[in-house]
């Protein structure tokens, strides 16, 4: 009975992990991943011409190494930018084994766990596991004022 999760936390951001059973989204769906040959490196990678996706599309996503000496390794994507006609992806931590040029990797789209991202980017709002209308801490510490709008409307 000890050290077992019970219940859940209530906060604005989604508690699901992109692609898990609670989320229900298929990260292998067309348009949400890219399998490309990797340039050599361990933490910062640049792909010429990989500009079919919006800037930041893969930020907070996953880089999975599919073959080569580093096969099976994964890295969390810190940033994803378009620089000229190139895509530059930086990982939070360098991979422990350097990629050789031409090793195949899969870039998976990232999620910031926000309600608008879930609704607009992934079209998965029905599975959103957050509570976006919970008032923040600043509201909890406030008090009523005589000059405020006290019409019974939404506080957020």
Number of folded domains in the chain?
A: 2
Residue 154 belongs to some domain of the structure: no
Domain co-membership, 102 together with 68: yes
In a domain, 87, yes or no: yes
Which structural domain, as residue segments, surrounds residue 64? 33-108
**118 and 94: one domain?**
no
If asked whether residues 84 and 101 sit together in one domain, one would say yes
One domain for residues 72 and 125: no
Q: Which two tokens stand for residue 24?
A: 């229900």
In a structure prediction context, what are the per-residue pLDDT tens digits for the chain, which is 156 residues long?
A: 788 878 888 889 999 999 999 999 999 999 999 999 988 888 999 999 888 899 999 999 999 999 999 999 999 999 999 999 999 999 999 999 999 999 999 999 999 999 999 999 999 999 999 999 887 777 667 777 777 777 777 665
Burial class (CB in 10 A: 0-12, 13-18, 19+), 13: middle
Residue 136 and residue 69: Cα distance in Å, rounded?
47
Report CA dihedral (125, 53, 81, 20) to the nearest 10 degrees: 40
The CATH number of residue 42's host domain is 2.40.30
**Residue 46 domain flag:** yes
Task: Retrieve residue 72's tokens.
Answer: 């099976």
Same domain assignment for residues 14 and 81: no
């Amino acid at each position: 009975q000890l050290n077992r999760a019970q219940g859940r936390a209530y906060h604005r951001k989604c508690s699901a992990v992109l692609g898990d059973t609670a989320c229900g989204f298929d990260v292998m769906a067309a348009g949400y991943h890219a399998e490309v040959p990797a340039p050599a490196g361990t933490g910062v990678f640049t792909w010429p011409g990989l500009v079919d996706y919006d800037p930041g599309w893969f930020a907070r996503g996953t880089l999975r190494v599919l073959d080569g000496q580093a096969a099976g390794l994964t890295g969390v994507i810190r940033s994803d930018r378009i620089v000229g006609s190139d895509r530059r992806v930086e990982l939070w931590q360098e991979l422990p084994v350097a990629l050789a040029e031409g090793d195949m990797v899969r870039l998976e789209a990232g999620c910031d766990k926000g309600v608008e991202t879930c609704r607009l980017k992934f079209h998965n709002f029905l599975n959103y596991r957050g509570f976006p209308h919970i008032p923040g801490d600043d509201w909890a510490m406030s008090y009523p004022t005589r000059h405020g709008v006290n019409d019974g409307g939404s506080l957020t």
